Amino acid sequence: MILLGQDIHNATLGIIGLGRIGIAVARRAKGFGMKVLYYDLTRRNEIENTQGIEYAEFDRILAESDFISLHANLTPETYHFIAKEQLGKMKRTCVLVNTARGQLVDSMALYEALRNDKIAFAALDVTEPEPLPTNHPLLTLDNVIVTPHIASASVATRTKMALMAVDNLIAGLNGEMPPNPVNPEVLRRA
């Protein structure tokens, strides 16, 4: 039974945070015949219609999803968005994937849920703290995969990131709004 995992074909994927990356994940999931539910602060009717995905309340996503993929921004409201209570609402067979921000998930609550078979697996490209200390309890489990924040580790992605940084720099030097600001509200106040 080594390396045995969950089948994604015809499974339900819950996406938390339907920005650019969440939309790309939804599109790929549909290619595997997955039912895709999403939760976001902003309802995306046009995406629902074009991608064939469905908006759902947060608790419904927790209860119905076979896989939950986190793509939300880190804000005071989303800090530990996934904690003991939310983990307790998930299917015991659920796989939690976090490639967004480590602080979206309460690491110790996740450890307890995984250790006590409250959820099946977790795949974490980001953690709290980051990086995890070598003696962190999550690293003792065989039902969690932790990678060192490498979701962008491809030549094409890193090249695009560099070009976006250059575009931002040139716009800033020209006194224009950068095309990809992290915090546009600060620039608008200036």
Same domain, 90 and 173: no
Same domain, 162 and 78: no
Same domain, 65 and 110: yes
Is 131 a member of any domain? yes
Same domain, 169 and 110: no
pLDDT digits (tens, 9 = 90+) for 104-115: 999 999 999 999
Is 71 a member of any domain? yes
CA dist 178 and 139 (Å) reads 40
**Which residues does the annotation mark as catalytic?**
101, 130, 149
pTM over cut 0.95: no
Same domain, 115 and 178: no
CA dist 190 and 185 (Å) reads 9
Compute the mean pLDDT over every residue in the chain, rounded to the nearest whole number.
Answer: 93
CA dist 171 and 176 (Å) reads 5
Same domain, 159 and 132: no
Q: What's residue 189's pLDDT?
A: 64
Residue in 82, 126, 132 with CA at minimum distance from that of residue 104 = 82
Q: Which two tokens stand for residue 77?
A: 């409201």
Is 99 a member of any domain? yes
Average confidence (pLDDT) over 2-18: 90
C-alpha distances in Å from residue 155, one per residue of 19, 95, 110, 147, 150? 23, 28, 32, 18, 12
Is 6 a member of any domain? no
CATH of the domain at 133: 3.40.50.720
Number of domains in the chain: 2
Q: What's residue 4's pLDDT?
A: 74
Q: What's residue 171's pLDDT?
A: 93
Q: Which range of residues forms the domain containing residue 173?
A: 155-189
Is 184 a member of any domain? yes
CB of 66 closer than 8 Å to CB of 91: yes
pLDDT digits (tens, 9 = 90+) for 57-90: 999 999 999 999 999 999 999 999 999 999 999 9
DSSP conformational letter for 5? -
Same domain, 18 and 89: yes
Same domain, 132 and 159: no
Integer Rg of the chain from CA = 18
CB of 15 closer than 8 Å to CB of 36: yes
Residue 109 makes CB contacts below 8 A (sequence gap 6+) with 80, 82, 83, 84, 87
Is 3 a member of any domain? no
Same domain, 90 and 19: yes
Is 16 a member of any domain? yes
Same domain, 64 and 131: yes
What percentage of residues in the chain have a pLDDT greater than 90? Answer: 82
CA dist 180 and 177 (Å) reads 9
Same domain, 27 and 97: yes
Same domain, 98 and 167: no
CB of 61 closer than 8 Å to CB of 5: no
Residue in 24, 27, 53 with CA at minimum distance from that of residue 39 = 53
